[in-house]
Amino acid sequence: DVTPEWRDKDLAKPEDRVLCPFSGQPLRVKDLLTAVFTPLDTSRDVTVNNTSANERFMCPISRKTLSNAVACAVIRSGSVGHVVCMEAVEQVVKPDMADPFGKAGAKLAPKDIIPLQRGGTGFAGSGVRLEATKYNPAMLSY
């Protein structure tokens, strides 16, 4: 018989609070950050009008169009986080650790730069390394 059987056992009670997937600690609303995306400025650049409909935001530092092919980070500045490309973080922000969105002279801590995980496109070459294993059982006959 291959049908599953009901076993009379107690199920574990689910958690009351939402837990952080990385630390396992309960999330609090005051720990969350509002991500601020900078919309493309169509009035300043002629090439912006030729972009696809999916490209609607840009990096406020480098003015590079953000897409799922561009590595991004959130820079925590006060209670909000500005979404910028990692290229701008490496070239502009990290050398001085100065907050480009805060008060003049404000410094950033390494924890204030939060890297974002890129989304896939569904295409096989989206940057995620997958490894397939092949299993071929042999049929023996006697």
Phi, psi of 64 (to 5 degrees): -85, 140
Give the chain's residues under pLDDT 50.
46
d(CA 126, CA 140) in angstroms, rounded, equals: 41
> What are the structural domain ranges in the chain?
33-115
| pLDDT confidence of residue 55 | 66
Quote the pLDDT of residue 90. Answer: 94
Residue 124, token pair as written in the block: 């096989």
Gyration radius of the chain's alpha carbons? 23
Q: What pLDDT score does 122 carry?
A: 65
**H-run or E-run covering 35:** strand 34-36
The pairing of beta strand 72-77 with beta strand 113-115: antiparallel
Give the model's pLDDT for residue 123.
Answer: 64
Decide if 48 contacts 95 (C-beta within 8 A): no
* pTM score above 0.85: no
Cβ-contact 88, 61 below 8 angstroms: yes
> Amino acid identity of 55?
E
| CA 14 vs CA 19, 20, 32, 127, 141: distances in Å | 11, 15, 22, 35, 51
